Amino acid sequence: MFDFTVVTQWFDNLLRQTCGLGDFWTILIECVVVGLIVLTLYALIAMFMIYFERKVCAFFQCRLGPMRVGPWGSVQVVADVLKMLIKEIFGVDRSDKLLYALAPFLTIIASVGTFSFLPWNKGAAVLDFNVGVFMVSAISSIGILGIILSGWGSNNKYSVISAMRGAVQMISYEMSLGLCMVTAVVLCGTMQLSGIIEAQTGPWKWLIIQGHIPAIVAFIVFLIAGNAEANRGPFDLAEAESELTAGYHTEYSGMGFGYFYLAEYLNLVVIAGLATTIFLGGWAPLNIGVAGFDNVMNYIPGFVWFGGKMLVVIWVLMWARWTFPRLRIDHILQLEWKYLMPLMLLTLVVMTACVALGLTL
């Protein structure tokens, strides 16, 4: 398994020894390069996700999806991005100018921040703190402020109602989402995302396997709560077109709307990436204890494993969106507070007992 630490150390030595730069300039250049890589990946993955969902949606509805611009409509997203970039950005009368302008940036900052924690390969995590699980939960919460401020700052009754719905829903489902991650922390014994993956390397070591029933329950609840956290169907009450037009971003145009649009798709990637990291071994290959099979699996690059697992999880979440009807807001909150959170509290207790008694694999 290739370790990207070799590349990062080579680049660091290139700046320090070959170019003779000091600590300040070396760290500054490294931060700029890493930032450019993250933003480029962010944009490219968002464009792929938009095209992918259009095709998945078309598949479930027995359509072809975009077909005109480029082969199989592959350049349609590029055309849409160009259109969005040149659209006029208009203001809103009697709006709170500061909050209205600030909301999209808070949403995109939260999305990029959590995206930076995803460990794509061994040694390829941009942010890898020893309290990574806690940091992911904290940074993702900033997105709630973006939704609230966008509705309130727009001074539109539909946007305000949408923002209230979205905030209540996201705050509620963060409880179950956090409990799912704590369950994994109990089993792995670390809050560092790279450490959680290291605990899943080896034959039959993926968390949903070594944690058996409690881990499987936590994985399923994580997908449900993550879908709700990303405001995606059937939990997209904040953007219910039949009731609230476009929801909290009704009054936004151009790239103001584009930031919300990008964040929605990248939040889906973040949820799928965290599910892959915590429950499916991340970049760790599938090993079953058979030498020949395991050697072949180990030759596959880690980022291929991570991307493949994440794509499967994304497809499952899209399947749910285009299959189930939209839920009512009271049903959404009942599902969280009456069922998912009590279930996860019980699961956490059971997982703790299993670890204490040595009943895990």
Eight-class DSSP state of 121: S
pLDDT at 243: 67
pTM of structure = 0.92
Which amino acid is present at 70?
G
* Dihedral over Cα of 136, 137, 142, 148: its sign: positive
Closest CA to 220 of 313, 315, 134: 313
Contacts of 95 (CB under 8 A, 6+ apart): 153, 154, 155, 251
pLDDT at 244: 67
Contact 122, 283 (CB under 8 A): yes
User: End-to-end CA distance of the chain, in Å?
Assistant: 24
* Angle formed by the axes of helices 157-188 and 341-357, nearest 10°: 10
The strand pairing partners of 342, in sequence order, are none
Domains of the chain: which residue ranges? 92-357
> ∠164-165-171 over CA atoms, to 5°?
90
pLDDT at 241: 67
Task: Tell me which residue has tokens 């009054």.
Answer: 251
Task: Tell me which residues of the chain have a pLDDT lower than 70.
Answer: 1, 241-244, 361
Which helix H or strand E contains 167, and what residues bound it?
helix 157-188
Contact 203, 287 (CB under 8 A): yes
